[in-house]
């Protein structure tokens, strides 16, 4: 397995952030809205830290900066079994199914 770079992480995180927003607006369940908002907030904190890096640093291996983002890994894994019940649109489900393994791979040491 090759080590993922900061650029790889940014790509996955941007896509995941967008998918959280889609899932948030697609659901009518307030508890699920809270869930997606919390996950989006955790991810945004990491993105805010990554934005402080220079463009030249994007070639370096990715390491999580904000410790709260590691909780996101657990939340993403918990979302997988509930996916068809929680996420309504097939397009959003497919994006999550593609992005969650990529995101979780970034968090592995």
Domain boundaries, the chain: 6-107
Dump pLDDT digits (tens) for 16-72.
999 999 999 999 999 999 999 999 999 999 999 898 888 888 888 888 888 878 899
**Model pLDDT, residue 61:** 87
Dump pLDDT digits (tens) for 60-102.
888 888 887 889 989 999 999 988 889 989 999 999 999 999 9
Please report which confidence band the pLDDT of residue 2 belongs to, taking 50, 70 and 90 as the band edges. low
Q: Spell out the SS3 assignment of 45-91.
A: HHHHHHCCCCHHHHHCECCCCCCCHHHHHHHHHHHHHHHHHHCCCHH
């Amino acid at each position: 397995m090759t080590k993922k770079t900061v650029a790889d992480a940014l790509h996955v995180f941007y896509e995941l952030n967008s998918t959280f927003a889609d899932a948030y607006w697609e659901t009518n369940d307030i508890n699920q809205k809270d869930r997606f908002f919390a996950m989006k907030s955790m991810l945004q904190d990491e993105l805010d830290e990554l934005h402080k890096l220079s463009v030249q640093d994007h070639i370096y291996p990715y390491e999580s900066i904000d410790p709260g983002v590691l909780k996101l890994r657990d939340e993403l894994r918990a979302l997988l079994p509930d996916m068809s019940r929680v996420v309504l649109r097939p397009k959003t489900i497919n994006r999550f199914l593609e992005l969650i393994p990529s995101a979780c791979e970034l968090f592995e040491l």
